[in-house]
A and B are shown apart, each in its own frame.
Chain A
Amino acid sequence: MKKNTEKRNLLSIEVLGIILGLIWIAPFYLMIVNAFKTKREIFSGVLGLPETLNLDNFVQAFIDLEFLKSLFNSVLITGVSIVIIILFSSMAGYALARNKSKLSGVLFLIFVAAMLIPFQSVMIPLVSIFGQANMLNAAGLIFMYLGFGCSLSIFLYHGAMTGVSKTMDEAAIIDGANRFQLFWYIIFPLLKPISVTVGILNTIWIWNDYLLPSLVLSEANATIPLKMFFFFGQYTKQWHLALAGLTIAIIPVIIGYFFAQKQIIKGVSEGAVK
Chain B
Amino acid sequence: MHNRNIWFWLFLTPVILGLGLVVVVPFIYGFIFSFTDWNGITATKFVGLQHYINLFQEDEFMASIWFTVKFAIITVILLNIMGLGLALLVTRNIKTNNLLRTVFFMPNLIGGLILGFIWQFIFVSVFEDIGMLLGVESLTGWLSTTSTGFWGLVILTAWQMAGYIMIIYIAYLENIPKDLIEAAKIDGANGFQRFKNITFPLVAPAFTVSMFLTLSMAFKIYDQNLSLTNGGPFNSTQMVAMEIVRTAFSDQQMAFAQAKAVIFFFIVAVIALTQVYYNKKREVEM
Identify the A interface with B (CB < 8 A).
10, 13-14, 16-18, 20-21, 24-25, 27-28, 30-31, 34, 42, 45-47, 84, 88-89, 91-92, 94-96, 99, 104, 107, 110-111, 114-126, 128-129, 132, 143-144, 146-148, 150-151, 154, 179-180, 183, 204, 207-211, 215, 225, 228-229, 232, 239, 242-243, 246, 249-250, 253, 256-257, 261, 264-265, 268-269, 272-273
Contacts and interface: CB of A to CB of B under 8 A. Distances in A.
A212 to B, nearest CB: 10
Contacts of A243: 118, 121
A122 B113 contact: no
A257 B262 CA distance: 37
B259 to A, nearest CB: 10
Interface stretch (B54-62, B88-96, B135-143, B193-201): B88-96
Interface string B77-92: 0000000001001101
B229 to A, nearest CB: 14
Interface residues of B, number: 92
B278 interface: no
B125 A239 contact: yes
A10 B95 CA distance: 10
Contact of B103 (A24, A246, A268): A24
A26 to B, nearest CB: 8
A147 B97 CA distance: 38
Contacts of A215: 249
B112 interface: yes
Given A46-B129, A116-B269, A120-B244, A14 B121 contact: no
Contacts of A273: 168, 171-172, 209
Contacts of B24: 110, 114
B146 interface: no
Contacts of B159: 24, 27
A269 B175 CA distance: 13
B109 A204 contact: yes
Given A148-B23, A210-B223, A121 B264 contact: yes
Contact of A272 (B164, B219, B241, B268): B164
A111 B172 CA distance: 27
A17 B22 contact: no
A224 B92 CA distance: 38
Nearest to A26: B122
9 contacts: A21-B99, A104-B8, A116-B268, A118-B264, A118-B265, A122-B22, A123-B248, A208-B109, A265-B101
B71 interface: no
B49 interface: no
Contacts of B130: 47
Nearest to A180: B7
Contacts of B89: 13, 16-17, 20
A136 to B, nearest CB: 13
Interface string B158-193: 010000100110111000000000000000000000
Interface of B: 4, 7-8, 10-12, 14-16, 18-27, 29-30, 33, 40-41, 86, 89-90, 92-97, 99-114, 117-119, 121-122, 125-126, 129-130, 133, 159, 164, 167-168, 170-172, 209-210, 213, 219-220, 222-223, 226-227, 240-241, 244-245, 248-249, 254, 257-258, 261-262, 264-265, 268-269, 272-273
Contact of A246 (B19, B30, B114): B114
Q: Which residue of A10, A111, A124 has the most chain B CB atoms within 10 A of its CB atom?
A: A124
Given A31-B118, A46-B129, A95-B11, A13 B105 contact: no
Nearest to B191: A9
Contacts of A107: 12, 16
Nearest to B206: A273
Given A143-B18, A204-B109, A265-B102, 17 more contacts: A10-B93, A27-B118, A30-B126, A31-B121, A91-B14, A95-B7, A116-B273, A118-B220, A118-B264, A122-B30, A124-B30, A125-B26, A129-B21, A207-B111, A208-B111, A228-B114, A272-B164
Contacts of A91: 11-12, 14-15
Nearest to B241: A120
A24 B220 contact: no
A119 B222 CA distance: 11
A228 B109 contact: no
A92 B121 CA distance: 45
B14 A146 contact: yes
A217 B139 CA distance: 39
Question: Nearest 10 CB-CB pairs, A to B?
Answer: A147-B22, A208-B111, A95-B11, A125-B26, A146-B18, A121-B265, A147-B18, A125-B30, A179-B7, A88-B14
Nearest to A209: B111
Nearest to A128: B40
Contacts of A261: 102
Contacts of A229: 113, 227
A125 B99 contact: no
A225 B15 contact: no
